[in-house]
Amino acid sequence: MALTTEQLFWHDKSTNPGPAWLSAEAPAVKRFPKPSKLLENPDAIVIGTGIGGLSVASALAQKRGMRVLMLETSGAPGGCTHCHELGGFEFNSGVDSIGDMDPRVGRGLYRPTVDFITGGKQQWAKMPDVHETAIFGDKEYKWYSSPEANIDWVEKEFPGEGNIRAYYELEKKVEWWAWSWAITKLAPNWVPESMREGFYSTMGGAWRKYMNRTTNEVFRKELGFSERLAAIYSYMYGNHGRTPEHAPFAFHAVNLIHYRDGAYYPVGGPGQISNCVVPIVESAGGQLAVNSNVERILVENGRAVGVRLADGQEVRSKLVISDASAYVTFMELLEPELSAKLGYPALFQDIGPSPAHLYLLLGYDEAIDLPKHIIWHMPEYEGVNPYDLSTADAIYKDTMRLDGMGGYLLSPSARDPVYAQRYPNKSTVIVLAEAPPPWVEKYRKEPAFRETFQAGVTENLMKLVRRHMPQLNGKTPSFMKAGVPMGCNPRAWAGCSLGLEPSGERFVKHTHWLKPKTPIDGLWLTGQDAFSAGFCGAMLGGRLTYSAITGDWLFMLDHRL
């Protein structure tokens, strides 16, 4: 199908569609079979193929010509970009909406990065200007891809309920000062932590200040927002997993600013990203090995020298890079004695995992006109003010009351402009909600609970589907599945979707050890925990790790790539 300039943005204005689309006939599990033999003596081993792993592998292959062995536990690569191929349908596992993908506007960092690691072949479709709606009780609020448009409706509908213009100025101020935090990741390892912290505490500016202030405190006390306006501007808390009375304002603000210039969806689905990256790595002599579960990082005389897989195979390399998350890397892949010696058990007692996500997946064997925008339905319970997000969220999580649960609804088949080419006469819906760690543990260990939980999730999330997607009323899905966790990283701590908890302490107290260089020579960390949460945070984590390994700091700072 032909796509207009306003629908697609290209790196080089070409019309090259890149690799063939993944589809029902050519799923990722067939496109990326497990190799019969692993690459011997690779220049680097990357554990995990989330966007952080894909990013650093692509950079090492393109800029250094290195032979990179990518080891993936799952049957297909991708992490949060992976799509679950179930029942003849495709369902995202993490990437639903990305900002900063128009190279003509915005901050000019994320789009050049994704263009570089995919060889300029990944296309992005712009979503509607109203890219999300937030539902509080019986009220719906539209969220525009423009501060001016949002200021306009807020000032008309909520006069005198808060200084909305001051918020957008503060948002920019906080985001600008984030450079001071990034420097703590860029500083060479020989710089003492005391010097890093001294610099950060002195130069942290608005970023550090507002990491120590909650979202609710800033909206209500500093900006004078009413309870309902503060709630409306906090609806997106599910993107970072902390309610307004706990979420650091700085991290909440940079989540919102990410969509200032529009929301975008990867053409061909999120799985197309790894479909573009893997051939780049292979062209330099590298290899992707799916269904290859790493059991142990091999450390000899204080240096990482390779990995041992669950099947007993060992692969040696002078460079080992983990995209398996900080917890899995340091607590599961290292020998317990070494982990304890380096102090990791105490660190992970002081910082926990981000929330996991439960899901409802629906597939229909017909083409249905579904909304392109994302719908956020806030949790609602009788007797609770619909704008009291913290109380409603606590009722849901503390008592597992599914009857008033909120949800995050989207249709991948509507968002991808070539979905009909890849999956003719098919339509899909995904509904997500947060799930605390105890739910995940119980779901995994207790079959009786699992069955009851799946039934409750299905019943209550279907209510939201019928309410917000009336086109589906009276239609029976040919595929339906509910459960927890969603599955971005099958080995993730408590099924967490965003790595370590996105608390203020993560970006202040813990920032100096959550970086690419580990205390073990030859072992590096990439992805979300090395930098920041989410697709773009993990992708920049890969870019950062490449710079730290090679000393090519201009690569991290260059917007032109």
List, for residues 323-345, the tens digit of each pLDDT value: 999 999 999 999 999 999 999 99
pLDDT at position 6: 44
Higher-pLDDT residue of 458 and 486 is 458
- Rounded CA-CA distance 16/276 in Å is 12
pLDDT at position 16: 53
Span 60-77, average pLDDT: 97
Give 286-324 pLDDT, tens digit per residue: 999 999 999 999 999 999 999 999 999 999 999 999 999
Is 363's pLDDT higher than 70? yes
Give 77-130 pLDDT, tens digit per residue: 999 999 999 999 999 999 999 999 987 775 667 999 999 999 999 999 999 999
Q: In sequence order, what are the residues at sequence separation of 6 or more whose Cβ sits closer than 8 angstroms to the Cβ of residue 348?
A: 327, 330, 331
pLDDT at position 323: 98
- Rounded CA-CA distance 554/561 in Å is 10
Q: Are 127 and 373 in contact (CB under 8 A)?
A: yes
- Paired strand residues for 45: 69, 320
Higher-pLDDT residue of 539 and 11 is 539
Tokens 């927890």 sit on residue: 484
Span 18-45, average pLDDT: 91
Q: CA 476: distance to chain centroid?
A: 31
Q: Are 227 and 215 in contact (CB under 8 A)?
A: no
Is 7's pLDDT higher than 90? no
pLDDT at position 17: 57
Strand arrangement, sheet containing 44-47: 287-289, 68-71, 44-47, 320-322, 523-525
Q: CA-CA distances (angstroms) from residue 545 to 50, 185, 298, 409, 549?
A: 14, 9, 20, 34, 6
- Paired strand residues for 139: 136
Sign of CA dihedral 439, 345, 521, 529: positive
Higher-pLDDT residue of 290 and 240 is 290
Q: CA 169: distance to chain centroid?
A: 26
pLDDT at position 10: 39
pLDDT at position 86: 95
Is 536's pLDDT higher than 90? yes
Query: Model-level pTM?
Result: 0.95
- Paired strand residues for 307: 297, 315
Q: What token pair was written down for 317?
A: 């390399």
pLDDT at position 555: 81
pLDDT at position 109: 79
DSSP codes, 379-435: ---TTS-TT-HHHHHHHHHHH--GGG--EEEE-HHHH-TTHHHHSTT-EEEEEEEEE
Question: CA nearest 270: which of 17, 85, 131, 80?
Answer: 80
For 89, phi and psi rounded to 5 degrees? -125, 170
Q: Using pLDDT thresholds of 50, 70 and 90, give the confidence band for residue 188.
A: confident
Best-predicted range by mean pLDDT (3-12, 159-168, 183-192, 550-559) = 159-168
Domains, the chain, with CATH or none: 41-123+265-351+497-557 (3.50.50.60), 151-258 (no CATH), 356-493 (no CATH)
pLDDT above 90 as % of the chain:
88
- Rounded CA-CA distance 198/187 in Å is 13
Span 225-241, average pLDDT: 93
> Considering the chain, what is the average pLDDT of its residues?
93
Instruction: For the beta carbon of residue 471, count every other beta carbon within 10 angstroms.
Output: 13
